[in-house]
Amino acid sequence: MRVNGKELSKSSHDETVEAFRAARDPVVVQVIRRTPSGRPHGPPQEIHVVDVCTQTDITFEHIMALAKLQPSTPPVPDVCPFLLSDSCHSLHTMDQDYYEGTDYLSPVAADGERTEEFEYE
């Protein structure tokens, strides 16, 4: 193996790592494979220079198909009427009516007094 022309086939792992670290861009790596002894050696292989990158098989059609899928979570409900921010109040006008607290209470006290009617399982 050669890195930027430096022979590393008999180098240790640490020496090889140091050669990669010291190399400047672009790093040219040439892998030389030994052929079996019965085969003649051919012409030297062409050196290929490649960029280090991530390649995916996702196409534009894949992206469009994923965009058309239904979301896995339900849409978020509009909670603005329940918020107390000024921007929300400007969008939703609220009436200034005031109500007695007992208007919202259920008749729990009346039901609580009739415990003999309830059965527990």
| 30: phi then psi, degrees, rounded to nearest 5 | -115, 120
Q: What is the rounded average pLDDT of the residues 12-22?
A: 83
What secondary structure does DSSP assign to 40-95, as a single string?
Answer: PP-SPPPP------------HHHHHHHHHSPPSSPPPP--GGG---HHHHHHS---
3 state SS of 9? coil
Instruction: Kindly list the domain boundaries of the chain, sorted by start residue.
Output: 1-34
Taken in order 53, 55, 60, 63, the sign of the CA dihedral is negative
What is the pTM assigned to this prediction?
A: 0.26
pLDDT attached to residue 74: 66
pLDDT attached to residue 21: 81
Q: Is 100 a residue whose pLDDT tops 80?
A: no
Q: For residues 23 and 15, give the distance between their C-alpha atoms in angstroms, rounded to a whole number.
A: 12
